[in-house]
Amino acid sequence: MKQLKRILFGLASILLLQFSSGAQVIYNFRYQLPQVDTTNYDAFVVIAGAGGGFARVKYWSAEQNKSVIIEAQLKDTFATDGDGITDESRKGYVTLQPKSLNGQASNIPQVVYWFKTNENDQMEPWGVALKNGAPGDAPRFYDHVRMIEQADLKKDFVLQYFNRRDSVYQRMFEGVARGPGLSTSNMTMHMIIVANVDDDSIGASAAKDKDEMMKMLNSLAGSMKVKTNAIVIAGDNYSKKSLLNALSGLQPQKQDMVIFYYSGHGFRRQKTTSANLPMNGIYPHLDLRANKQQDYLKESIGIDSVYSILLRKGARFNLVLGDCCNSVVEATNTVAKPPGVPRGPELEKSMRNVQAMFLDPAPVAIIATAANVQELASSNNNFGGFFSYFFRSTLNFYLSPLRVDPPTWESLLREAQAETVKKARRTYCSRPFVPANICKQTPIFNVLD
């Protein structure tokens, strides 16, 4: 059995190295809880990239002479080290509000599905433990665990945990008509991606953000079968002039989508009595200097000004995102450890959810940035900006057939905001590592739909 577990963990490690962060990760855990009973539990565990998810757990009830299925929501938790500091290398998902779906289950045990970082900085399954177990109890496996891929999600397998009336099953296998949504044959997704990839302090992080955002948007466009018009402002053409030219030349049609994304330095413009400088609002200005010798007051533009310019273009869908600081211009992004997240294959999207978010005919206008007034934005050179990560992972999960509740932009941004806040509270913006130096980062947004 121990040899089998080592083989399974080794396979999981190899798989984790092959897959990038996707909409969600699905695991099949089988385990016992000898502290409670001798029951064999079989769990279908869905972990959303933004920190939650759900589980369907089945077991045989001798009393009822049938299989019982439990559903529970999942919420992430972290272990702490000897000094009480969060240890992001050990992350658990706690079952909350477990309820029986097809029987009278009593005393349903609440458990934690634990993961830990391996030598390749990838999170892999570690074990299962009781939620209220004794302090220091190590999680244990009693049978096996495996990552579920798209090819595994056959009807027979899914029906072990869901029935044909479940919305998850129907999204996977029943299909969805577009209904009153717009035709995509004459629709274009316009993308303006601006990233300060040459900056000494955050260039690597901005480059990661640029690549991941382009990858996600191209995947979305492919799923929706829409044309694309991508403008990338980075490297040698990184400047305010390039951005203004791109905004001026953009000519979307009424049915089109426009998405603007910025990753770089940002700052809060100081109030001034000069008639040439606007009074500042809550959203940051984008530092578009090609080099530090340029005047940042001249080589910048408010992201809310970009938003206003794009709205006047008249496209049906407008999304403006910024991952940057919102403090003084001399401040720089906080570089921190990446969040502990299991990674797995990207699964197919639910066209019903894609339609609700992007293709319904009602106009949508969204602006969102990584930090509130006087706050810094956290990032990691190998992971990108944390707000960008949590936005992407939340959106991917909202477009998944495993997303049960109807998706909305308001709820999506609130989840991405909450996860960014939590990550900041696990990060120290300066030394020493005392509570006064814990980061504060609260993404801000506005949704008009």
How do residues 90-120 score in pLDDT, each as one tens digit? 899 999 988 888 877 667 889 999 998 888 7
Give the full edge-to-edge strand order of the sheet including 300-302.
Answer: 266-267, 285-287, 300-302
pLDDT over 50 (residue 263): yes
pLDDT over 80 (residue 449): no
pLDDT tens-digit profile of 364-384? 999 999 999 999 998 888 789
Least confident interval from 67-71, 90-94, 95-99, 347-351: 347-351
Q: What is the model's pLDDT at position 10?
A: 38
- The fraction of the chain above a pLDDT of 90, given in percent, is 53
8 A C-beta contact, residue 281 and residue 298: no
Greater pLDDT, 280 or 299 = 299
Amino acid (1-letter code) at residue 351: M
Q: What is the DSSP letter of 358?
A: I
List of domains in the chain: 2-173 (no CATH), 188-448 (3.40.50.1460)
pLDDT tens-digit profile of 172-201? 887 654 444 557 889 999 999 999 999 998
Q: Which helix (H) or strand (E) holds 416?
A: helix 409-425
pLDDT tens-digit profile of 287-314? 999 998 999 999 999 999 999 999 999 9
Q: What is the model's pLDDT at position 276?
A: 43
8 A C-beta contact, residue 363 and residue 357: no
Mean pLDDT of 274-292: 75
Mean pLDDT of 404-426: 91
Q: What is the model's pLDDT at position 122?
A: 81
Q: What is the model's pLDDT at position 335?
A: 74
8 A C-beta contact, residue 368 and residue 321: yes
Give the full edge-to-edge strand order of the sheet including 334-335.
Answer: 334-335, 378-380, 384-385
Return the closest-CA partner of residue 121 out of 381, 346, 377, 324. Answer: 381
The pTM for the full model equals 0.86
Helix, strand, coil abundance in the chain, percent, nearest 5: 25, 30, 45
As a whole number, the mean pLDDT across the chain is 85
pLDDT over 70 (residue 1): no
